[in-house]
Structures are given as C-alpha cells and as structure tokens.
Amino acid sequence: MDPLRFLFFFDAGQAFLEGQKVKPFKDLRVSTGAEIRFIMPVLNVPFRLIYAINPNRDPLQTYIPKSTFKFAVGTTF
C-alpha cells in the first residue's frame, strides 16, 4: 500500500419528505473536489487534506460556502 494517495470525489444527495415533489437534478446538494491522503507508518492512520467545491450552491444561501478546505485524521466510516 502506497503511503501517499491522491483522490477525486463527487457526491450528490438530499432527503425528501414523503409525497414531496422531487426535481432530481435541481434539488440535489452536490459537492466535488480532491483529497490527498498520507498514511503515517507508525500510527497506521491517514492524514487527509480535502478541498471541496459546491458547484450547485444557491447564491441566496450565504451560509453554505462555495468552497472549503479541511484537514482530517482517520477515516470517515
């Protein structure tokens, strides 16, 4: 296993109420981006640098950032 990995990701989804009208492409929340993972040999856990972009962001929802940068240790699952 290589200690350094470079990944691209795409994610889309949303929760809907029963009976709610769904417009699949318009109503989905979408993010895409890139991630660099470095496995620390001594600890055997990944150190992760993640850059994500929200290409489908509604300009009126200013509380949702257009892009973000995150640092994480370990896996998400």
Per-residue model confidence (pLDDT) at position 69: 93
Number of domains in the chain: 1
Single-letter amino acid code for the residue at 13: G
Q: What is the C-alpha radius of gyration for the chain, rounded to an integer number of angstroms? A: 16
42 pLDDT higher than 90:
no
Task: Give the model's confidence band at 61: pLDDT under 50 very low, under 70 low, under 90 confident, else very high.
Answer: confident
d(CA 62, CA 52): 16
More reliable by pLDDT, 63 or 11: 11
d(CA 16, CA 26): 13
Domain with 68 in it: 4-73
